[in-house]
Chains A and B, each alone.
Chain A
Amino acid sequence: MRRIWYMVFKEFLQVFRDPSMVALIFVVPLFQLIVLSFAITTEVKHLKLVVADLDHSRESREVVRAFSHTDRFDIVGFTQDIEQIKAGMQNWQVQMALVIPPGFGRDLRRGIAPKFQVMADGVDGNTAGVAIGYAQGILLGVSRTVQAEHAPKLIPASVRPVVMTDRMWYNDNLSSRQYMVPGIVVVLLTILPMMLSALSLVKEAEIGTLEQLMVSPLKKIQLLAGKLIPFLILSYVELVLVTVLAVAVFQIEMAGSYGLLAGLAFLYLLTTLGLGIFISTLAKSQQQAMFVAWFFMVFMILMSGFFIPIENMPPFLQHLTYLNPMRYFMVITRDIFQKGSSLQFLINDVVPMAVFGILIFGSSVVKFRKHAG
């Protein structure tokens, strides 16, 4: 036992002796948390809008005013020339354009639906779709005000349309941050343990000190334990740090139990530390280890539902995500944070995650023993 502690002590010394390592472990993730929790939003705001008002009537100015009063759109210019709009879109200067044809106000006053064109840059399909939806909403508002002036003759009051009310549970103002920050916790608990354990083992092999450790009286299991315990501790420190920051600084609501999160994090760390060991047995150099680790990570992050919902993927990829341990921990962490879920509701995700953890960790240890022997 004492031998393991010497080994743990050595690993800690090695990490903390190198200031850039300390910076990478602590500062960079925090920086990411701060920057990314502001950046990650699929909300569409401040779209660059150009207006071609070919009508110049009171009504058309009303429409333009409605568009200038929202932060969804920023009016960046006025033009009379459609070709200029197209050129602007090609330059990425313009994302959307309103074209109000001549006769717009006149038709509206007479109760004829006037033509109204919106041009959008469709390269970013999601943004374009959302933006067109916004534009429609704004127009609907304008049409209601116009209607209020001319209402009685247009629609009989007896047929009232059905109106929908909505309630948004768990996140009533639809804040992206509430959803993304728990995800970042999971990402950090994936990257850090995997890279640290993979690189540290390969490094010993590469510079030849692994052999020295092998001929020392340490058993292989003790060697591995001595390597992994420090990384386990560091991962937990990271978890605490990020969670505290998320709750205290970013005002993320933590609806569930911290104890449950910490406990389930252990099951997940078995997986990521295990993958680190596994990678170290595959790779001959730190560079190779890095590339393989990178491959695992990008695969895991993108297939975890972190920012691309799994439900959106084609069925065969959805099935593939069941092989991704991160998928389970992503759901678990988000549900604990947002819904305050108890173990009872999470069991369907906890069981596969535990199975993956034990399998990956177990087989990696076995593989490491063979490999190193």
Chain B
Amino acid sequence: MNRLLAIARKEFLHIVYDFRTLFILFMMPVVQLVMFGYALNLEIQKVDLAVMDHAHSPASQDMVDGFRGSTFFRVFFYRGIESEIEHLFQSRQARAVLVIPREFGQKSPPDTVPDVQVIVDASDPNAAQVIRNYCTQVIQQYNGRQGRPLPFLFDFRPAILFNPDLKSTFFFVPGVIAMILIMISALLTSIAITREKETGTMEQILVSPVRSYEIILGKVLPYIFLAFLDAAMIVGVGLYLFDVPFRGSWLLLVGLTLLYITTALSLGLMISTRAKTQQVAMMAALFATLMPTIMLSGLIFPISSMPVPLQYVTQLIPARYYLLIVRGVMLKGSSFAQLVVPAMSLAIMSLVLLLVSIRRFRTTLEG
């Protein structure tokens, strides 16, 4: 135990003496959280819509007013011909074009001509989908004003729980916390052992009487402390700046966050026992955390939409579980009983990672 603490102390001093790294470690997450808290927003707005009104009738005017009245669109008139639409899209002056044919608003429109046509620049398919939905809505409202309601026979009432205004920040701020924590933690420990190997001090440790598990645990301990400070700081900033509600128990979040940090640090450590150079260790840590966390954890993209084999892959990603925990505690006020599965998954993961690290470390010792 004493030896373990001695290693921990040594590792801690390493960190504290390195002001630049410390500074980066505490400033960077805050800056990132602030930026992404504001930047991560999937609500599309202010779409440039070019209107080609060939009818110039009161009816077409009313239709255009409907589009103008919506804050979703920025409407401008374009007096050109259809073949110039390509130019509008290429030069990015418009993302959608509304074409109102000359026959529009006449008493008996010919069946061959579409009523109105919306042409969308679908190079961003997600945005295109949303634009199409908005156009449909505006036209439905137009039909309503003109006394031609589309038949909708239900009194439709959505009830939205936990986040009635569907705010993106409520969803993303806890997510960014999960992302920052895993990257900081994994990067920190990924070089903890490689550095000793590279600078040659590993052999000095090896000839000392410390056991391999003492080295591994001693190296993890100070980082748990450090990463936890980081976590407390960004959660605080998140709550204060973005008004994210906190409905659950603080104690529960603290406990499970420690668990998550341990998992992330163990992941870094595992990489560290494997890699020969710091360069490889850090690149591996980055690839193992950054992209998978952004893409596969449910941080932005819903897991249920992925192909099934990939959904199994997401079960290997620690952030997936922590996202359930942090969003659950903050937004849903979840209790421990409701979070047992993700908590157990994280615990098992850390245990396996730590055991593998110790084992692998021991074999390097003998080899």
* Residues of A in contact with B (beta carbons under 8 Å apart): 18, 20-21, 24, 28, 32, 35-36, 38-48, 74, 86, 89-92, 95, 108, 111, 113-129, 132-133, 135-136, 139-140, 143-144, 146-147, 154-155, 159-172, 174-176, 178-179, 191, 195, 199-200, 203, 207, 283-288, 290-292, 294-295, 297-299, 302-303, 307-309, 311-314, 317, 334-335, 338-339, 341, 345
CA distance A48 to B276 in the complex (A): 45
Residues of chain A contacted by B115 (CB below 8 angstroms):
162-165
Chain B CB within 10 Å, residue with most, of A18, A154, A294: A294
0 or 1 for each of B178-196: is its CB under 8 Å from A? (1 = yes):
0000010001000100010
Is B135 among interface residues, defined by CB-CB distance under 8 A?
yes
Query: Which B328-345 residues have a C-beta within 8 angstroms of A?
Result: 328, 331-334, 338
Whether B123 contacts A308 by the Cβ 8 Å rule is no
A140–B291 Cα gap in the complex (Å)?
39
B155 and A113 within 8 A (CB):
yes
- 15 cross-chain CB contacts under 8 A: A35-B295, A42-B300, A45-B302, A116-B156, A119-B161, A120-B161, A127-B302, A143-B152, A159-B147, A199-B283, A286-B279, A286-B282, A287-B21, A287-B278, A307-B301
**Nearest 8 CB-CB pairings of A with B:** A125-B166, A122-B163, A168-B122, A174-B125, A143-B153, A122-B160, A171-B122, A45-B305
Taking A174-B125, A288-B18 as given, write out 6 further A-B residue pairs in contact, using a Cβ cutoff of 8 Å, ordered by the A residue number.
A44-B305, A114-B155, A126-B168, A139-B156, A166-B117, A285-B21
Contact of A39 among B18, B122, B287, B295 (CB under 8 A): B295
Specify which of A43, A92, A159, A164 is in contact with B305 (CB 8 Å cutoff): A43
Q: Take A20-B276, A123-B332, A125-B163 as given contacts and tell me if A287 and B282 are in contact as well, using a CB distance cutoff of 8 Å.
A: yes
Report the separation of the CA atoms of residues A223 and B115 in the bound assembly, to the nearest whole angstrom.
67
Answer yes or no: B118 CB below 8 A from chain A CBs: yes
Task: Indicate whether B310 reaches chain A with its CB closer than 8 angstroms.
Answer: yes
Query: What band does the interface of chain B fall in when counting residues whose beta carbon is under 8 Å from A?
Result: 35 or more
**Among the listed stretches B5-13, B42-50, B220-228, which one makes contact with chain A, having 4 or more residues with CB under 8 Å of it?**
B42-50
Measured between beta carbons, the chain B residues less than 8 angstroms from A90 are 328, 332-334, 338
Stretch from B126-134, B207-215, B252-260 contacting the other chain: B126-134
Asked if B284 is at the interface of the complex by the 8 Å CB criterion, the answer is yes
Given A169-B119, A312-B43, also A44-B302 (CB < 8 A): yes
B20 touches A284 (CB 8 A): yes
Q: Which of these, B90, B119, B157, B183, contacts A118 with CB under 8 Å?
A: B157
For residue B78, CB closer than 8 A to chain A, the reply is no
Interface: B80 (CB within 8 A): no
Knowing A40-B295, A114-B155, A120-B160, the reply to whether A166 touches B135 (Cβ < 8 A) is yes
Is B125 a contact partner of A176 (Cβ separation < 8 A)?
yes
Listed stretches B28-36, B349-357, B359-367; interface member? B28-36
Are A161 and B313 in contact, CB atoms less than 8 angstroms apart? no
A308 touches B39 (CB 8 A): yes
Q: Which of A143, A295, A345 contacts B154 (CB 8 A)?
A: A143
Chain A neighbourhood of B279, CB < 8 A = 21, 199-200, 203, 286
B residues contacting A by CB (< 8 A) are 18, 20-21, 24-25, 28, 31-32, 35-36, 38-47, 63, 85-86, 89-91, 114-129, 132-133, 135-136, 139, 142-143, 146-168, 170-171, 183, 187, 191, 195, 198-199, 275-280, 282-284, 286-287, 290-291, 294-296, 300-302, 304-307, 310, 313, 324, 327-328, 331-334, 338
Select one of B20, B36, B156, B276 contacting A136, CB under 8 A. Answer: B156
A46 to B18, CA, bound (A): 49
Most buried by B among A44, A113, A127, A147: A127
Q: How far is the CA of A90 from the CA of B133 in the complex (A)?
A: 30
CA distance A187 to B154 in the complex (A): 47
- Asked whether A302 lies within 8 Å of B286 as measured between CB atoms, the reply is no
Q: Which residues of chain A have C-beta atoms less than 8 A from B146's C-beta? A: 159, 162
Evaluate contact between A92 and B287: CB separation under 8 angstroms. Answer: no
| Interface residue from A18, A120, A171, A335 paired with B277 (Cβ < 8 Å) | A18
Residues of B within 8 A of A207 (CB): 198-199
Interchain nearest-CB distance for A16 vs B (Å): 13
Contact A117 B171 (CB under 8 A): no
Partner among B116, B139, B306 whose Cβ is within 8 Å of the Cβ of A38: B306
- Structural contact, A24 and B287, CB atoms closer than 8 A: yes
Report the separation of the CA atoms of residues A92 and B47 in the bound assembly, to the nearest whole angstrom: 34
Q: Which A residues are in CB contact (< 8 Å) with B150?
A: 140, 161
A167, B20: Cβ atoms under 8 Å? no
Query: Which one of A39, A128, A165 lies within 8 Å of B310 (CB-CB)?
Result: A39
CB neighbours of A309 from chain B (8 A): 44, 124, 127
Least distance between A201 CB and chain B CB atoms (Å):
11
Known A-B contacts A132-B158, A166-B135; A41 and B301 likewise in contact (beta carbons under 8 Å): yes
With a cutoff of 8 Å between Cβ atoms, the chain A residues found around residue B199 in the complex are: 207
Q: A161-B148, A164-B135, A286-B191 are in contact. Are A121 and B161 (CB under 8 A)?
A: yes
In the assembled complex, the CB of A46 is this many whole angstroms from the nearest CB of chain B, namely 4
Contacts of A91 in B (CB 8 A): 334, 338
Question: Which of B31, B32, B63 has the most A CB atoms < 10 Å from its CB?
Answer: B32
Contact B44 A20 (CB under 8 A): no
CA distance A160 to B279 in the complex (A): 68
CB distance from A124 to the nearest CB of B (A): 5
Q: Are B302 and A124 in contact (CB under 8 A)?
A: yes
A345 to B44, CA, bound (A): 24
Question: How far is B327's CA from A174's CA once the two chains are assembled, in angstroms?
Answer: 30
B284 touches A45 (CB 8 A): no
| Across-interface contacts of A118 in B (CB, < 8 A) | 156-159
> Chain A contacts of B275 at CB under 8 A?
20
Interface centre among A135, A167, A207, A303 (most CB of B within 10 A): A167
A327 CB, min distance to chain B CBs, angstroms = 12
Residue of A nearest to B175 (CB): A124
Q: In angstroms, how far is the closest chain A Cβ from the Cβ of B15?
A: 10
